[in-house]
Structure 1
Amino acid sequence: MSLRINEVVPDFEADTSQGPIRFHEWIGDSWAILFSHPKDFTPVCTTEFGAVATLDTEWKKRGTKVIGVSVDGVEEHKRWINDIETYCGNDVHFPIIADEELKVSKLFNMLPAEAYMPDGRTPADSATVRSVFIIGPDKQLKLSMTYPMTVGRNFAEVLRALDALQTSASHGVAMPADWTLGQDVIIPTSVSEEDAKTKFGEYDTVFPYLRKAKLPE
């Protein structure tokens, strides 16, 4: 069974390109994004790691740590990082977990329990390891997405989703389709009209169950 929203994510110890970590301790009081890859030195994954490195200042602005996971070892990761930096023109500041034994991939239900890595393994052997997990400071899973091998992830969407999750957590609101920072939010149906007026002032009632408002300054 996949990890469910609001479940505490598994804790684990692992070697990374920046040294050993214990996952929950590494997250600390931050938000975190774990994004996984089936193998180093693969074309789509190289472009994705480059996209994450390019967004380094955006993750930091949002108090969010990012960490990659791939099924190769630390030395392969370090060599691959050189290619990623050459490709995107930015330094890779985040660690990459060495998941050679598939421990993390199995803990996060990206691979079946009986999966193993054969000699001469290829990305197809771990094709389902193409996921993104956004984790809150409470170590609970807030959002997950899984992509096929051929489709590069849109990290602008990951960033947008992170903004929405953080806004929802801090203001107790919901977000409409395609929402971005600065746009109107949705007042939950659990909030009474009186409380909505107190918190938001004027708001737009589209339907009794759909009320839109600007966030308080």
Structure 2
Amino acid sequence: MPGLLLGDEAPNFEADTTHGRIRFHDFLGDSWGILFSHPRDFTPVCTTELGRAAKLAPEFRKRNVKMIALSIDDVSDHLAWSKDINAYNGDEPTEKLPFPIIADAKRELSIQLGMLDPDERDKEGMPLTARVVFVFGPDKKLKLSILYPATTGRNFDEILRVVDSLQLTAKNKVATPVDWKSGDRVMVIPSMPDDEAKKLFPEGIFTKELPSGKKYLRYTPQP
């Protein structure tokens, strides 16, 4: 079945976008990347999503993350719709967003990446793209994927949060607990022995006592 699994390398596809033609690996360069699809241009939920993504674009840039969107519409529709998105945000209604939007009218890339929603179809009965999020590391490999149906809008602040977690845990032998935000304490990975953890995390380790007696809930300040 077409699609991407964690650890898979992103296909080095070529595509027409609102910022010109791209080759995906060249577009990413040495950056992290977010490729996210939406069902259709000129639709209400998608407008709010891309509006929020545009507002958060400076935060993603601070984290060395390049964003790129995709749907089955063509470039001319993407450009016209971008005016609506900018107007929704209260900005000048220009044809450009801070990130490109891929045109995939033939659905070739959507099929290759496993992005089609079988329950949402256009007036010709053809499936629309779902709300997929792929996060790629600088090695071009998939680090995270999230799949939403067309009826449910995404939370781009959450996507920003998981990028913070992915980048932190890529550099440090830690994991981030439920509802973690940047600056919160983190967890020592279970495979690390206590003596190694004490050397690696000089600010200290707090172990939560549990009825089982097992010492697996170990916290430390964020490195």
**Both structures adopt the same fold (TM-score exceeding 0.5):** yes
Q: Match for 1:203: what amino acid?
A: I
Identify if the C-alpha distance between structure 1 residues 61 and 123 changes in structure 2 by more than 3 Å, giving closer, same or farther: farther
Matches within 5 A, 1:16-27: 16-27=17-28
CA distance in 2, matches of 1:123, 1:60: 38
Further displaced range: 60-69 or 100-109: 100-109
CA distance in 1, matches of 2:147, 2:125: 15
8 Å CA contact 1:110–1:128 kept in 2: the answer is yes
Structure 2 unmatched ranges of 5 or more: 209-213
* Deviation >6 Å, runs of 4+: none
Structure 1 residue aligned with 2:219, among 185, 188, 212?
212
CA distance in 1, matches of 2:144, 2:182: 18
CA positional deviation for 1:25? 1.1
What residue number does 2:98 align with? 93
Identify if the C-alpha distance between structure 1 residues 28 and 89 changes in structure 2 by more than 3 Å, giving closer, same or farther: same
CA distance in 1, matches of 2:16, 2:25: 14
8 Å CA contact 2:38–2:130 kept in 1: the answer is yes
The RMSD of aligned alpha carbons is 1.9
Q: Match for 1:22: what amino acid?
A: R
Identical counterparts, % of pairs:
48
Corresponding position: 1:110 with 2:111: no
CA distance in 2, matches of 1:70, 1:160: 24
CA distance in 1, matches of 2:124, 2:38: 9
CA distance in 1, matches of 2:63, 2:188: 23
Identify if the C-alpha distance between structure 1 residues 158 and 173 changes in structure 2 by more than 3 Å, giving closer, same or farther: same
8 Å CA contact 1:39–1:123 kept in 2: the answer is no
- CA deviation profile, 1:82-122 (whole Å, cap 9, x unmatched): 0000001347210000011112211111239xx9xx9xx44
Further displaced range: 200-209 or 96-105: 200-209
CA positional deviation for 1:128? 4.6
CA distance in 1, matches of 2:191, 2:138: 25
Q: Match for 1:92: what amino acid?
A: L
Greater fraction of residues in strand: 2
CA distance in 2, matches of 1:172, 1:183: 15
8 Å CA contact 2:37–2:115 kept in 1: the answer is no
What residue number does 1:176 align with? 177
Further displaced range: 102-111 or 156-165: 102-111
CA distance in 2, matches of 1:123, 1:89: 34
CA distance in 2, matches of 1:31, 1:47: 24
CA positional deviation for 1:209? 1.6
8 Å CA contact 2:71–2:129 kept in 1: the answer is no
What residue number does 1:133 align with? 134
Further displaced range: 181-190 or 12-21: 181-190
Per the alignment, in what secondary structure is the counterpart of residue 151 of structure 1? coil
Matches within 5 A, 1:1-217: 1=1, 2-90=3-91, 92-111=97-116, 121-122=122-123, 125-201=126-202, 202-206=204-208, 207-216=214-223
Per the alignment, in what secondary structure is the counterpart of residue 56 of structure 1? helix
